[in-house]
């Protein structure tokens, strides 16, 4: 306690006291949401931990309460799902994963379940742009090699299939042009 008092006294000599008080209030206001989230996380984890030794009806009620505390906060719902899976509470985990999907976090659900992620994202998009540029510049061989790699990483991706069709159409057009020029 003496350390805080001496810190405030020393700070008060450099900065006016009203500035120190204002900064402390702003800091407290900014910290409160983080603290509340931490409290909710502990409550959710505790409820799910209690499910392990509860009977079926109590387990269902505790799971419902944990999901109610999580509300529509996707981070808290994910914590609920991960904790339920860790504690082998499958019903609660499935309910949490269903809610997480409804909140638009299907990628997180796939990640939690260990399923492969969808073939989207910046890396795939950059590859698609690179292959498209190669096709525009008529660099067929390099474009085909990169397209093969891309197809292996994102099988069935609609844009990859479109690029494959563009590659084939470009090669066919070039072959017919060469045939007409030579023949």
- Percentage of the chain exceeding pLDDT 90: 37
Task: Answer whether residue 116 shows pLDDT above 60.
Answer: no
* Element at 149 (helix H, strand E): helix 140-153
**Taking the model in full, what pTM does it have?**
0.54
**What's the rounded Cα separation, in Å, for the pair 134 and 93?**
46
**pLDDT for res 109:** 86
**Alpha carbon distances (Å) from 148 to 129, 139, 153:** 14, 14, 9
- The position carrying tokens 């060469």 is 178
pLDDT digits (tens, 9 = 90+) for 47-87: 999 999 999 999 999 999 999 999 999 999 999 999 999 99
pLDDT band, residue 21 (cuts 50/70/90) = confident
pLDDT digits (tens, 9 = 90+) for 79-92: 999 999 999 999 99
Q: What is the mean pLDDT of residues 132-157?
A: 86
Task: Answer whether residue 30 shows pLDDT above 80.
Answer: yes
**pLDDT for res 15:** 81
**What's the rounded Cα separation, in Å, for the pair 27 and 34?**
11
Average pLDDT of the chain is: 86
Least confident of 129-138, 163-172, 174-183: 174-183
């Amino acid at each position: 306690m003496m350390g805080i008092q001496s810190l405030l006294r020393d700070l008060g000599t450099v900065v006016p006291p009203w500035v120190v008080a204002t900064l402390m209030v702003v800091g407290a206001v900014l910290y409160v949401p983080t603290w509340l989230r931490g409290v909710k996380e502990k409550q959710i984890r505790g409820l799910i931990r209690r499910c392990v030794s509860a009977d079926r009806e109590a387990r269902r009620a505790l799971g419902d309460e944990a999901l109610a505390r999580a509300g529509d906060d996707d981070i808290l719902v994910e914590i609920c799902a991960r904790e339920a899976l860790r504690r082998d509470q499958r019903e609660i985990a499935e309910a949490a994963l269903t809610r997480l999907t409804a909140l638009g976090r299907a990628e997180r659900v796939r990640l939690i379940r260990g399923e492969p992620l969808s073939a989207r994202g910046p890396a795939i998009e950059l590859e698609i742009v690179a292959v498209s540029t190669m096709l525009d510049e008529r660099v067929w061989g390099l474009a085909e090699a990169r397209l093969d790699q891309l197809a292996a990483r994102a099988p069935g991706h609609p844009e990859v299939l479109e690029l494959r069709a563009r590659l084939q159409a470009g090669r066919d057009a070039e072959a017919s042009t060469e045939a007409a020029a030579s023949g």
